[in-house]
Amino acid sequence: MPYINVGQENSGNIDLYYEDHGTGKPVVLVHGWPLSGRSWEKQVPALFDAGYRVITYDRRGFGESSKPTSGYDYDTFAQDLHKLVTKLDLREFALVGFSMGGGEVARYLGTYGTAHVSKAVFISSIPPFLLKTSDNPEGVDGVVFEGIKKAIVADRPAFLSQFLSNFYNVDTLGGNLISDQAVQLSWNIAAGASPKGTLECVSAWLTDFRNDLKRIDIPTLVIHGDADRILPISATGKRTPEFVKGSKLVVVDGGPHGVTWTHAEKVNHELLGFLGQDARSSQAA
């Protein structure tokens, strides 16, 4: 199992678990909360089949990665990602973030620039700025996040069950576009995450990414479901193109937060089409 060391806590290493498979142009997939790199199950085979090298990794505190008690902020997350990219010596790679992972994409590009990144993709993502403030009236009231924190502390496993029901809109899509077993798989992954990391990430969600997005000068795709109950499209996906010049927004009709599973065919079609645009243009020329 491949790991990269990104730090130290007392006597133990902080290591990130990653997978690096396939050949061709690299695509780095950054997962959402409270899942792991395994959540890209529907995208990885499609990318392989299209001829890409695919890199997934587990954010600190989640999946198979170390579970330290600190570092659950986007500056550290972006630094972790940068260390992985540097270790693998990636060039001309695409950076794809789902949900909370969209924050890593934004902060990484805002901090380290786009010199070696070819394209950016935000799927059901958290930018530009989730918290409602005087200069961000489209955001969500802070009391909502305080309620989430209290629910996690009170009974994390029960909270995760309720959260994932809304993650996939099980009441309307269950038995059709999402099975009970797929939801259970997500719960199993989420339940294995660090309790402290799970809690502290909620505060990280309130990071302001507006300036990071303004620095993005590469082709950018935004995919978001219009029935997203976790990160409402009006506060997130629809606003990201306001800050990223020339970006493209694709709205998934009836799509919940977890569109990468429920609407995988649509997501993969848009993702592969976007990633392959340069290649098609060159062939046409």
Cα 229 from Cα 62, distance rounded (Å):
23
**Among 16, 212, 203, 247, CA closest to 103:** 212
pLDDT score for 102 = 98
What separation in angstroms does the CA of 195 have from each of 62, 144, 199?
Answer: 10, 19, 6
Q: Is the peptide bond before 34 cis (omega within 30 degrees of 0)?
A: yes
Residues of the chain with pLDDT under 70: 278-285
Q: Kindly report the three-state secondary structure assignment for every residue of 27-78.
A: EEEECCCCCCHHHHCCCHHHHHHCCCEEEEECCCCCCCCCCCCCCCCHHHHH
pLDDT score for 47 = 98
Residue at token pair 């099975």: 179
CATH superfamily of 3-284: Alpha/Beta hydrolase fold, catalytic domain (3.40.50.1820)
pLDDT score for 278 = 64
Q: Which sequence spans correspond to the domains of the chain?
A: 3-284
Full DSSP string of 113-156: -STTEEEEEEES---SB-B-BTTBTTSB-HHHHHHHHHHHHHHH
Beta partners for residue 136, in sequence order: 133
pLDDT score for 282 = 35
Other CB atoms within a 10 A radius of the CB of residue 245 amount to: 11
Residue 16, token pair as written in the block: 């990130």
pLDDT score for 48 = 97
Q: Which residues contact 223 (CB under 8 A, 6 or more apart)?
A: 121, 122, 123, 124, 237, 250, 252, 259, 267, 270, 271
Q: What is the pTM of this model?
A: 0.96
Residues taking part in catalysis: 99, 228, 257
